[in-house]
Amino acid sequence: MVVRRPSFAGMFYPDDPHELSSLMEFFLSRSRGVDDCYGVVAPHAGYPYSGKVQGSSYACIPPAFSGTFLVIGPSHAGYPICTSTVDWGTPLGVIESDKDLCRLLGIPVSDEAMIARENSLEVQMPFIRYRFPGAKVAPVLMGYQDFGSAMDLAERVIEALDAYAGDIRIIASSDFSHYIPDAVARADDQYVIDALHNLNTEEFYKRLAEKKLTACGYGPIAVLAESCRHLGATEGRLIEYATSGDVTGDFDQVVGYASIAAV
């Protein structure tokens, strides 16, 4: 069995299983999620900075969930869109790949791209393994994130969901504003997030361009919004927002993090 080994354990999150489990429990116990949802936006920075908000994302899904997480993250390294059937290793154990859903997506398979260092997907996996030990994953790396590319991927995801009989939750991996003053980040991020209240992806892209927002996973967010609306969601509900300044005390150059549930 081929297993993708963690690249960021010991850097973005602890590599010691006991320390990591304690941290997971700490983040999840302080979260204020909804009872359930169709999918969530979750940040992907180092846990000391974004872990609390990330915990709020996963707290929106009941711990008894044992279906498949479709995890969509931006490719920081520039790989084109792809999926992979390689299982995911974490310090807490291995997460099985849902090979059937990966094939149904109808996008290229690249184990090479998926095994490469990419925090947008990897940092989601310990949360999934800890809170949902029976769940599988279908990972997607998204290259181009323009509106047309996002709608094309959303169409593929919707077709796959319609053909798939299992239970699915969608994770869109994204941080928001990068390296701007805290007050500006909060105002700009809130303005763009407000467009997701009705899962309006066209307005979301319009506001992204208007504010020149540096959200790194805006494409995955749009795919989540379109796909979850197809499943029955009517609202993108902001669960929690924070910036790196809340942890570091440096409010001059912050990164924004948001938990948004599609309900």
Report yes or no on 9 lying in a domain.
Answer: no
Report yes or no on 1 lying in a domain.
Answer: no
Report yes or no on 229 lying in a domain.
Answer: yes
Would you state the pLDDT for residue 235? 98
Would you state the pLDDT for residue 226? 98
Tell me what the mean pLDDT of segment 162-184 comes to. 97
Would you state the pLDDT for residue 77? 83
Would you state the pLDDT for residue 71? 98
Tell me what the mean pLDDT of segment 206-221 comes to. 97
Q: Using one digit for the tens of pLDDT, what is the confidence trace for 39-71?
A: 999 999 999 999 999 999 999 999 999 999 999
Report yes or no on 4 lying in a domain.
Answer: no
Would you state the pLDDT for residue 33? 82
Kindly report the CATH number assigned to the domain that includes residue 60: 3.40.830.10
Report yes or no on 152 lying in a domain.
Answer: yes
Q: Which amino acid is at 160?
A: A
Report yes or no on 6 lying in a domain.
Answer: no
Residue 17 pLDDT grade (very low, low, confident, very high; cuts 50, 70, 90): very high
Q: Could you tell me what percent of the chain has a pLDDT over 70?
A: 100
Report yes or no on 139 lying in a domain.
Answer: yes
Report yes or no on 120 lying in a domain.
Answer: yes
Q: Is the predicted pLDDT of residue 114 greater than 80, yes or no?
A: no
Q: Is the predicted pLDDT of residue 108 greater than 80, yes or no?
A: yes
Please, what is the average pLDDT of the chain?
96
Would you state the pLDDT for residue 78? 82
Q: Is the predicted pLDDT of residue 138 greater than 80, yes or no?
A: yes
Indicate the number of domains in the chain.
1
Tell me what the mean pLDDT of segment 223-252 comes to. 98
Would you state the pLDDT for residue 112? 80
Tell if the pTM clears 0.75, that is, is over it. Answer: yes
Its domain, for residue 241, covers: 14-262
Would you state the pLDDT for residue 1? 67
Would you state the pLDDT for residue 31? 76
